[in-house]
Structure 1
Amino acid sequence: MDFAFITKVSPMFFDAALLTLQVFALGLFFSFLVGLFCVAMYFFRLNFIYKICSIYIEFSRNTPLLIQLFFLYYGLGKLGFHMSSFACAVLGLSFLGGSYMAESLRAGIDAVKKQQLEAGLSLGFSKMQLLRYIILPQALGICMPSISANTVFLFKETSVVTIIALPDLVNTMTSLNSLTYKTDELLFLLFISYLIIILPMSLFLSWLEKRLSYV
């Protein structure tokens, strides 16, 4: 193991990790927004729009992110819609993550007792107030383990964006390996980089699950 080489290229992995985190953070944010929109359509019984959301959810969950990125980056490019690799990566993660977040939130809402809904209506709450103040806070506590799993899954999926030439962690490793052939050292750095990010994330999400859970 060449530790001098590891020290030399570590700053490049640090920059790649920051870029990966940016893509992940934006993808997670928009995934949650998409999930909230889909579940709001479900809650308010806007059937036509929710049917469109259902088609999107099934399509997104049943196609690989790799194929989605190919379509967004190369397919749309052929049609004249050109995006940067960064924008494409964020859009791809949001498209994939939104469907998983929507299903997690829907399961949480379905698990909230109907008496809670009836109590809110009897107090004169509007459906929007019910969703915001009664249903969603309880639903988040119920579905937080699923959301946590989806969050970690979404970060792991960032490893796929290397296919569209985004200089993320995997792309940095493969590029350096093609130049230096230091495979063991580069794989070690890649492993450590993901571990340093995912382990604290998992611990934080576990703590958040306990904070939001209720008996």
Structure 2
Amino acid sequence: MYHFNFEPVFAGFDQLLIGAWLTIQLSVAAMMIGLIVSIICAAGKTSGIAPLRWLIDVYIEVIRNTPFLVQIFFIFFGLPSLGLRLTPNSAALVALVVNFGAYGTEIIRAGIESIQKGQVEAGTALGLSKLQIFRYIIMKPALRTVYPSLTSQFIYLMLTSSVVSAISADDLAAAGNNLQSQTFASFEVYIVITIMYLVMSIGFSTIFSVIEKAAFKYPLSR
């Protein structure tokens, strides 16, 4: 019979908290920067500039059809050969942004294409500038449409970020691995880590739900 002993785990619980905080920081930063990348790429993909659409399509296909671990290794181990060296945490952030940007582009593109052309034409008839049309008539309704998909992608991104421990980034998974090597309480450590990831996921889901009710209620607030 296996006897659970969580005492060594809770004795080093501060290490897990530090790792969890870094996971949250990496995930939130990657989501915010990745969202900007997604909006820019989605706007470019829906534009009439063929070479730009082709470049964005290549970017999306490469990221969506290669393992996230390989992308991290390419950024952390491959870029130094080109003279660009990044710390593990910086490389992890870049990899997460690039990954989220590819998936987010397709999500936001679908939202943009869901906007009826008649609404854009109405905005033009009212004398709105192209920037105002994109901001108020296209982007806000599109974001409201794809908001659930974007938040789900963020939760997935946060859980996927555990892979960055492979390049020694100081996230929750790395902290758990270090604590396990110190205590040899593998089962207990990973039970606690699983619960911590679950709590973070539920917590962010709740936050996103509150934001959705406040920011995307009808009519959309400016």
Pairwise same-fold verdict (TM > 0.5): yes
Identity %: 32
Choose between structure 1 and 2: higher helix proportion: 1
Tell me, in whole angstroms, the C-alpha distance in 1 between the residues paired with 2:213 and 2:21: 28
Q: Quick one: which amino acid aligns to residue 200 of structure 2? A: I
Where does structure 1 lack aligned partners over 5 or more consecutive residues?
none
RMSD across aligned C-alpha pairs, in angstroms? 1.7
Equivalent residues of 1:142, 1:213 under 8 A apart: no
Q: Aligned residue for 1:96?
A: 99
Runs ≥4 residues deviating over 4 A: none
Q: Aligned residue for 1:22?
A: 25
Corresponding position: 1:85 with 2:88: yes
Corresponding position: 1:171 with 2:174: yes
Tell me, in whole angstroms, the C-alpha distance in 1 between the residues paired with 2:196 and 2:147: 26
Q: Quick one: which amino acid aligns to residue 169 of structure 1? A: L
CA deviation after TM superposition for structure 1 residue 42, in Å: 2.9
Equivalent residues of 2:46, 2:53 under 8 A apart: no
Equivalent residues of 2:15, 2:179 under 8 A apart: no
Corresponding position: 1:160 with 2:163: yes
Could you give the per-residue CA deviations for residues 20-78 of structure 1, whole angstroms, max 9, x where no partner exists? 11111211111101101111213442332222111111111111110001111111123
Corresponding position: 1:57 with 2:54: no
Q: Quick one: which amino acid aligns to residue 196 of structure 1? A: V
Could you give the per-residue CA deviations for residues 112-143 of structure 1, whole angstroms, max 9, x where no partner exists? 12211111111122222110111111101111
Tell me, in whole angstroms, the C-alpha distance in 1 between the residues paired with 2:112 and 2:79: 36
Equivalent residues of 1:41, 1:47 under 8 A apart: no
Equivalent residues of 1:69, 1:161 under 8 A apart: yes
Deviates more, 1:95-104 or 1:171-180: 171-180
Tell me, in whole angstroms, the C-alpha distance in 2 between the residues paired with 1:57 and 1:131: 22
Tell me, in whole angstroms, the C-alpha distance in 2 between the residues paired with 1:210 and 1:60: 32
Tell me, in whole angstroms, the C-alpha distance in 1 between the residues paired with 2:125 and 2:104: 30
Could you give the per-residue CA deviations for residues 62-106 of structure 1, whole angstroms, max 9, x where no partner exists? 111100011111111233321100110000000000011111111
Equivalent residues of 2:88, 2:167 under 8 A apart: yes
How many residue pairs get aligned? The number is 215
Q: Aligned residue for 2:116?
A: 113
User: Which aligned pairs between 1:32-51 and structure 2 lie closer than 5 A?
Assistant: 32-51=35-54
Could you give the per-residue CA deviations for residues 180-203 of structure 1, whole angstroms, max 9, x where no partner exists? 210122012201211221111112
